[in-house]
Amino acid sequence: MFAIVSKSDGFPVSRSAGEGQADLVVTWTSGDRAKAFLAAKGIEADYSVVALTEDTLGKMASALGCDPDTIGFDAFPEK
């Protein structure tokens, strides 16, 4: 699994779950698909694709201000 994070602050691309719930980090099944998403949006210079590992989860949690175990995920709808 892969996520996209801001190069400036490490904040991950996420979507609102609504109803007062925490935002969900959007994931992709492949790094190439995540990179294609960035290219389609023209934002490759500002974001990086990262594999979901304990280290990257820790960094995302730090950027989000939460514990890594509380991060929720949502798969990007791929065709």
pLDDT of 8 strictly over 80: yes
Overall residue count recorded for the chain in this entry: 79
pLDDT of 21 strictly over 90: no
Total domains in the chain come to 1
Domain that holds residue 31: 2-75
Q: Which residue has the tokens 């929720």?
A: 72
> Which tokens hold the place of 61?
């949690």
Give the HSE-up count for residue 66: Cα atoms under 13 Å, Cβ half-sphere: 14
End-to-end CA distance of the chain: 16
Q: How confident is the model at residue 47, as a pLDDT?
A: 96
pLDDT in tens, 22-77: 789 999 999 999 999 999 999 999 999 999 999 999 999 999 999 999 999 999 98
Is 7 in contact with 46 (CB distance < 8 Å)?
A: yes
Is 25 in contact with 12 (CB distance < 8 Å)?
A: yes
